[in-house]
Amino acid sequence: MLCTLLHNAYFLFSKTAMQLLTRQTPLNRPVRILQFGEGNFLRAFVDWMVERMNRATDFNAAVQIVKPRATPGGTGEILNRQGGVYHVVLRGVQDGRNVEEIEPITCVKGCLNPATDWDEIQKCACDPALRFVVSNTTEAGIEYRPGEDTFPAKVARVVTARCQAGLPGLVFLPCELIEHNGDMLRECTLKYIEDDAVRRYVETQCIFCNTLVDRIVAGFPKDDAPRYWERLGVQDDLIVCGEPFFFLAIEGPASVEAEIPAKACGLNVVFTQDLTLYRTRKVRFLNGAHTASVLGAHRAGLTFVDEMVRDSEFGKFLRQVLFEEVMPTVDLPEEEKRAYAESVLERFANPYAQHRLLSIALNSVSKWKVRVLPTLLDYQKKFGKLPPCLTRSMAYLVKFYRTCEINDSPQVKEFFAGHPTLEQILGNTDFWGMDLNTIPDFTATVGEFLA
């Protein structure tokens, strides 16, 4: 009922013809959040969270989105055409019952392109109302590359403008699945700053929180979109589907908790001084199982994650990854680990998610390094042998990157375009942070799987 009333307040309905969704009521909220990333995850996670806090508390925040890469068109263009409004569909099994809820998201002001709209971005950076910066630029986004306009380079320009305007510092909440993501963003940002006054400003007035995010977001529901449009009475080209499960852990000072009224509206947000165990559990079980399996499952002809769980071969593969290879490497009570592993399988099997394998395949090289490699190394150290499924996952990756269209960084695409040997792939320390050929028996075993 609440969602319906909100929808009527903001969006135009038509009983005679399907109209394109557009904002009908001006967004009269201050821009308190600058968001780098217009993708499905942030729109169904952070922006959904902001919408909830705006409804239930006096948080009163608008979100200004910035494309991390200066590319034309895409989601940002559609978002601007729709006036920043869209819907989130949460569907799945919750407390033993099927759930399907549609919620309007009205807190987004629009999307700016750094190639053409930097003056507007800088104007936003110098707005006294601005307080938070959130991001999801994938695991490859938080890097220092001299001479390149990376995400941290853009952050350096934002904080420089704000410092020179004499305004208070900002709170950074990066959502990239990188260990110590806030610390890394701070470190990379400082490398782009030469002015001592700006460096002191970043070090003393800005807060960089480490975070952990957890919600499976499937993206645009291609097959079900017409059904939702009819239900809404408008054509929303940015509907994004996710699961009801939501979890956010924030590692930072108590002052940040006081500024984010998540608990006041019942959101599953934990403020902690150490999120190591939360991160290890989530990245190794949920993300690791995803990354280890999706490339092989796609090549086997599967399309969605729930299909993969039900498949006789890959369902068995997933269970072996979770219960036999990941579980022994995580330092938590056995019952807690097993319960979390079971919950991951249940979430993967969600028939409503329509989570495409190829969506998860984005930037698989950096994902494998972060999500799979640490578990493989810990397993090898503990048992003196390789974990068979996680080792096979590298063969899946190599085969996929040799034979399928790659959706990864320009550096990765260029490398694989040169038709590298297996030894060259495993020895690329820029990809893996180490020479994987040095892992005992790894190169030979991956080669056997490829054969």
How do the pLDDT tens digits run along the chain, 451 residues long?
445 445 544 544 333 468 999 998 999 999 999 999 999 999 999 999 999 999 999 999 999 999 988 777 789 999 999 999 999 999 987 766 788 999 999 999 999 999 999 999 999 999 999 999 999 997 678 999 999 999 999 999 999 999 999 999 999 999 998 889 999 999 999 999 999 999 999 999 999 999 999 998 988 998 899 999 999 999 999 999 999 999 999 999 999 999 999 999 999 999 999 998 888 999 999 999 999 999 999 999 999 999 999 999 999 999 999 999 999 999 989 998 999 999 899 889 888 877 889 989 999 999 999 999 999 999 999 999 999 999 999 999 999 999 998 889 899 999 999 999 999 999 999 999 999 999 999 999 999 999 9
Report CA-CA distances (Å) from 219 to 159, 174, 224, 299.
Answer: 32, 20, 12, 21
Report whether 291 contacts 364 (CB < 8 A): yes
Mark out the alpha helices in 404-450 (DSSP H runs): 410-417, 422-426, 429-432, 442-450
Report whether 408 contacts 429 (CB < 8 A): no
What is the structure's pLDDT at 200? 98
- Reported as type and span, the H/E element at residue 99 is strand 97-105
d(CA 33, CA 14): 33
Q: Residue 327 has what DSSP assignment? A: G
CA-closest candidate to residue 208, choices 136, 132, 278: 132
Report whether 130 contacts 34 (CB < 8 A): yes
d(CA 22, CA 328): 51
Q: Give this prediction's pTM.
A: 0.77
d(CA 283, CA 288): 6
What is the structure's pLDDT at 17? 60
Neighbours of 166 (CB within 10 A): 9
User: Strands (DSSP E) along 240-342, which ranges?
Assistant: 240-242, 247-251, 269-272
What is the structure's pLDDT at 351? 81
State how beta strands 86-94 and 97-105 pair: antiparallel
How would you label 184-218 residue by residue, b for 16+ Cβ within 10 Å and e otherwise? bbbebbbebbeeeebbebbeeebbbbbbbbbbbbb
Report whether 236 contacts 86 (CB < 8 A): yes
d(CA 304, CA 302): 6
Q: Is the dihedral of CA 227, 232, 237, 239 positive or negative?
A: negative
What is the structure's pLDDT at 248? 96
Q: Which residues contact 30 (CB under 8 A, 6 or more apart)?
A: 60, 61, 62, 127, 129
Amino acid code (one letter) for 309:
V
d(CA 181, CA 164): 26
